Structure 1
Amino acid sequence: MSESKSESKPDKKPHRVSARLPRGFADRGPAELAATRDMLDTIRKVYERYGFEAVETPAFEYTDALGKFLPDQDRPNEGVFSLQDDDEQWLSLRYDLTAPLARFVAENFDRLPKPYRSYRAGWVFRNEKPGPGRFRQFMQFDADTVGSGSVAADAEICMMAADTLEALGIARGDYVIKVNNRKVLDGVMEAIGLAGDENAGRRLTVLRAIDKLDRLGVEGVRLLLGPGRKDDSGDFTKGAGLNEEQVQRLLLFTGWGEPTGAERAVSVNKLRLDSFERAVGESSSGLAGHAELVELREYCKCSGYDDRIIIDPSVVRGLEYYTGPVFEAELTFEIPGDDGKPVRFGSVGGGGRYDGLVSRFRGEKVPATGFSIGVSRLAAALQKLGKLASAEPVGPVVVVPRTAALAPHCMRLVQQLRDDESLRALPGFAAEMYLGGGSFKGGLRYADKRRCVVAIMIGESEIEAGKAVVKDLIEGTEQAKAIETNAEYRAQRLAQFEATEAELPAAIREILARHSA
């Protein structure tokens, strides 16, 4: 019996998957990667100059190890990206780099020197609503001192943050390191009736609201301290439920204004320390925080940083685990806003003392302090200042065979170039063979797309003569602008010459040097 038409029909084409980038994530090209690499290397050198050593922790941690400061500890996938492994243990992508460090120190406590000074860079992940400039994956670069309760450790972190910004090209006066103390804030909370464990949730809401002063302004924060706030998308954020008197006292505490320049920092520091002492009243916690700020200021002053590190009541840091001094690195120069009006660039990093985080694992107090740089945000600032290389890196020297049969000869030649000591000494030197098939035209088109400076072409006649054709692609492009026809272009053999294999390294060095000046 013959097959029916329906039975003989070929299977439908497989479904084509749509190529789409998940919201809140970003692809990065060679220019951004190269610029970021240079930036991270500069930060690393400053951190190492202060005696910090590198450590790396994995992207995943057990969810309970990340700590109670997460947005919602009762729902593991709120705020963090989580999954269960085959042992039904909850794992989460790290929310920051500090909690994984606390786990690492606790797990290796006996073998590590104390204080333990370390730095680490890596991606962190937030399962939150993405928006303009707000990503679900971004990079941080942290430095922490674990095992010292001295205020000197906090002062040193602040000084290192200042040195880091200057090493990256941000001029003194275009940034400020702002310092506050959570104990002072606790004293103010006590003064407005929010002390005690029963008010822990409201205190956290208050701190997170104040932390948004730069972004939302006074009126936005006023709503978050009171009944709540609806954003432009219609999403509602529940407020702390404070009355008007409590709200006003908090806003007065945080709204004493910013310094107009580094020359005012010294007098501003004294003014604010005096104000803090009055604001905390008889609170023992508040008075202890005030004393720590006085000591921190003295360390900064005697080391020559008093004009760059200022006391500022608006710094609260949103996470719950800070226990003492808290810091914020803010860029003070202005950029055009969305409406064309000048706005400050704002915060590019922050941190503080977190004496209770490691103790979650060990049951004993282990003091710690640290600082975290938001790499992407700082890179954007450096680009605005023209301090971040934006050009894509120069491509490799490309050896192009005329036919596939010549590929083995060209592969040998490429390897000789890679092994040549004089070429390897050149920054960023690389060499490759064109793998797209035997065609000079295709190889040169590929070299242009790779931003190559030099192409080497090998045909049968070149092999017989023991030579290669060297082409200066940049000079060739310039000369081609004066050529009117394809025939004339082919006849001119622009910016190219022959060289023996022994002469190739010197010829390549000369062309690269000419275009790197």
Structure 2
Amino acid sequence: MADADKAPVLKAPVPKAHRPKARVAKGFRDVEAQEIRALKRMLATIEQVYELYGFDPVETPTIEYTDALGKFLPDQDRPNEGVFSFQDDDEQWLSLRYDLTAPLARYVAENYDRLPKPYRSYRAGWVYRNEKPGPGRFRQFMQFDADTVGTDNPAADAEICMLAADTLEKLGVPRGSYVIRVNNRKVLDGVMEAIGLGGEDNGGRRLTVLRAIDKLDKIGIDGVRELLGKGRMDPSGDFTPGAGLDAAGATAVLDFVNAAAGQTNAETVEGLRRALAENAPIGEGLAELASIAAHVDEAGYSDRVRIDPSVVRGLEYYTGFVVEAELTFDMRNEEGEIVRFGSVGGGGRYDGLVERFRGEKVPATGFSIGVSRLYAALRNLGKIEDDTIAAPVVVLVMDKQRLGDYQAMVRELRDAGIRAEMYLGTSGMKAQMKYADRRGAACAIIQGSDELAAGEVQIKDLIAGAEASRAIENRDEWRDARPAQMTVRRGDLVQAVRDVLKRYRP
């Protein structure tokens, strides 16, 4: 066995003053191999459920014309209202998509005449928001949506709720550890109309009310009351202006949000009907909730789908039914406190988005999973498997004049379905062995001049060798014992490697 040649002398490094700083942009993160593979398995499971429901895939571009996306984001205090935007050579404003719903509305409007109605589709992809980042809150994150466009039937809304429940269970979230919470924005619009916030002139204040309620699980009832009034100072010192409601108005909104749930969804609807002074929006919204309640009850989902007046959703484009998928188990937050995990997805009815393009009503409803957040929840539940792909077997290069021989070994292993690679660096044997260890390889293949002459190869079981090294302290003893190292005929290479791998991956 002969060592490979020593590494060549490297060129002089770039002067420090000319080097860019290696850093990830604020609010973004790198994703590494183990999480990527787990995410792929998770996405495949979600896709299976969506396909079973009859949804078809579609992809839209990451970049859209800014006017096509509209201004619907909740984080209005950013310089460009939460959207990353730029101009092209024609001075047209373009933006990175901030969700997958607005691009779908553009796609449907552009292809309306050739699409079947209702049009049922799903899509997964990265979205971007120029919002203030924080713990667990990034400016780039993945969503996985399913939408039905072209029907105002409440059965489509009920189906979205069932889809959300089935997806969570398929991913391993046990029944009883989640709830699909449903409300209707029309009911809350009616409440705000009753306290004097009706009409177009009060659109901004109504939106501020919605966004205040949407933060209930984060800042509590007292924080929401502040946002409904003059405003709130958060722990970082940032002040968020409020909706300017008086005490009576804020109480009316909070009384609706905190309305007691009945034993059944039908009882909750009737309780709201009795508690609210009915006007047109309230009557229409309660009728839609009653219809959804009947559909989910008939389908056997009423134990998982619950009407909850505190659900509002922060995006401006929702027009009626809104839904959130909430995980109800506890976990520790960044400060070590025990908290409920909370929402991992949501959606609702957005009957006005396609209308923006076509000038006619095109009703639509959908649901979006926050993939990264759900991934964190599944890992917390122990439902994310560790990386199940074995690290590659590494074939060491002992003689640079024989690269063809080493590559032939790699090809034989790959043909047999074994992940394998030839060492492509320029270092000697010691560094190559260290590389194989860092790759997590179960074994390394060695054929120096002695093994070549004998028609053999050496196989080093790196996992067993590491275990043995902890028990052997004397260097001479180690050299004499050569633990976890075997010599086999060259023709037996594939089977010998399989035997090693089976010890660790039956």
Indicate whether 1:226 and 2:229 are aligned.
yes
Are 2:34 and 1:45 equivalent residues in the alignment? no
Report the Cα distance in structure 2 between the residues aligned to 1:341 and 1:95, rounded to whole angstroms.
31
Which one of 143, 147, 159 corresponds to residue 144 of structure 1? 147
Is contact 1:184-1:276 (8 Å) kept?
no
Q: Which residue number in structure 1 is paired with residue 7 of structure 2? A: none
Write out aligned runs for 1:459-470 (5 A): 459-470=448-459
Q: In structure 1, the residue corresponding to 2:212 is in which secondary structure?
A: helix
1:166-315 aligned at under 5 Å gives the runs: 166-256=169-259, 267-315=263-311
Query: Is 1:399 aligned to 2:402, yes or no?
Result: no
Question: What corresponds to 1:383 in structure 2?
Answer: 379
Q: Which amino acid counterpart does residue 370 of structure 2 have in structure 1?
A: G
Q: Deviations over 1:358-394 (max 9, x none)?
A: 1111112111111111111111111111111345853
341 and 24 in structure 1: CA distance in 2 versus 1, 3 angstrom threshold: closer
Partners of 1:383 and 1:390 within 8 A in 2? no
Distance in 1, Cα, partners of 2:283 & 2:247: 26
Picking from 413, 416, 420, the partner of 1:431 is 420
Alignment counterpart, residue 21 of structure 1, candidates 14, 19, 24: 24
Q: Distance in 1 between matches of 2:184 and 2:442?
A: 55
3-state SS in 2 of match to 1:61: strand
The 1:478/1:165 distance shift into structure 2, 3 A limit, reads same
Per-residue CA shift, 1:15-57, capped at 9, x if unaligned?
Answer: 2211122211111111211221111111111111111122111
Contact preservation (8 Å) 2:183, 2:308: yes
RMSD: 2.1
Q: 2:431 aligns with which of 420, 423, 442?
A: 442
Deviation at 1:279, TM superposition (A): 4.2
- 1:169 and 1:458, CA in 2 relative to 1: closer, same or farther beyond 3 A? same
- The question of whether the paired residues in 2 share the 8 Å contact of 1:161 and 1:329 is answered with yes
Which residue of 345, 349, 355 maps to 2:345?
349
Paired AA for residue 121 in structure 1: A
Q: 1:111 to 1:502 in 2, by over 3 A?
A: farther
Answer with 32-41 or 338-347: which moved more. Answer: 338-347
Normalising by structure 2, we get a TM-score of: 0.93
Shift of 1:272: 1.9
Q: Is the 8 A contact 1:61 1:94 kept in 2?
A: yes
1:73 and 1:60, CA in 2 relative to 1: closer, same or farther beyond 3 A? farther
1:354 is displaced (CA, Å) by 0.6
| 1:132 and 2:135 matched | yes
Q: Does 1:452 align with 2:455?
A: no
Distance in 1 (alpha carbons) for counterparts of 2:23 and 2:419:
32
Distance 1:73 1:336, change over 3 A: closer
1-side partners of 2:238 and 2:77: how far apart? 21
Matches within 5 A, 1:25-36: 25-36=28-39
Residue 254 of structure 1, CA deviation: 0.8
Overall identity of the aligned pairs, in %: 61
The AA in structure 2 aligned to 1:214 is: D
For the 8 Å contact 1:177–1:330, the answer to whether it is kept is yes
**Mapped partners of 1:362, 1:74: distance in 2:** 30
Contact 2:178 2:327 (C-alpha < 8 Å) held by counterparts: yes
| Equivalent pair of 1:398/1:431 in contact (CA under 8 Å) | yes
Asked if the contact 2:135–2:334 (Cα under 8 Å) also holds between the matched residues in 1, the reply is no
Structure 1 residues 372 and 274: CA distance shift in structure 2, 3 A = same
User: Quick one: distance in 1 between partners of 2:58 and 2:461?
Assistant: 44
Distance 1:503 1:315 in 2: 64
8 A Cα contact 1:188 1:279, kept in partner = no
Q: How far apart in 2 are the matches of 1:244 and 1:75? A: 29
SS in 2 for 1:489: helix
Instruction: Please report the TM-score for the alignment, with normalisation by the length of structure 1.
Output: 0.91
| Structure 2: stretches of 5+ with no match in the other structure | 1-13
Residue pairs, 1:158-169, within 5 angstroms: 158-169=161-172
Q: Please tell me the residue identity of whatever aligns with 1:151.
A: P
> For each residue in 1:91-111, what CA deviation from the matched residue of structure 2 results, as whole angstroms up to 9, or x when unmatched?
111111111111111112222
- Unpaired stretches in structure 1, ≥5 consecutive residues: 1-10, 260-265, 424-428
**Structure 1 position 84, deviation (Å):** 0.4
* Count of aligned pairs between the two proteins: 493
Letter of the structure 2 residue corresponding to residue 101 of structure 1: L
1:294 offset after TM fit, Å? 1.0
Runs of 4+ in 1 over 6 A off after TM superposition: 72-76
Q: Counterparts of 1:118 and 1:180 in 2: how far apart (Å)? A: 23
**Residues of 2 paired with 1:509 and 1:115: CA distance?**
52
**CA distance in 2: counterparts of 1:74 and 1:374, whole angstroms:** 23
Structure 1 match to 2:3 = none
Q: Does the residue aligned with 1:401 lie in a helix, a strand or coil?
A: coil
Q: Which moved more, 1:212-221 or 1:288-297?
A: 288-297
**How far did residue 493 of structure 1 move?**
2.4
Alignment match, 1:368: 364
> Does the 8 Å contact 2:76/2:82 carry over to 1?
no
Name the SS of the counterpart of 1:170 in structure 2: coil
1:111 aligns with 2:114: yes
Q: For each residue in 1:122-179, what CA deviation from the matched residue of structure 2 results, as whole angstroms up to 9, or x when unmatched?
A: 1111111111111111111111111122111111111111111111111100000000
Q: Is the 8 A contact 1:406 1:459 kept in 2?
A: no
How big is the shift at 1:278? 2.8
Match of 1:4 in 2: none
Greater RCO structure (CA 8 Å; 6+ sep): 2
Q: Distance in 2 between matches of 1:170 and 1:253?
A: 30
CA contact (8 A) 2:129 2:139 kept: yes
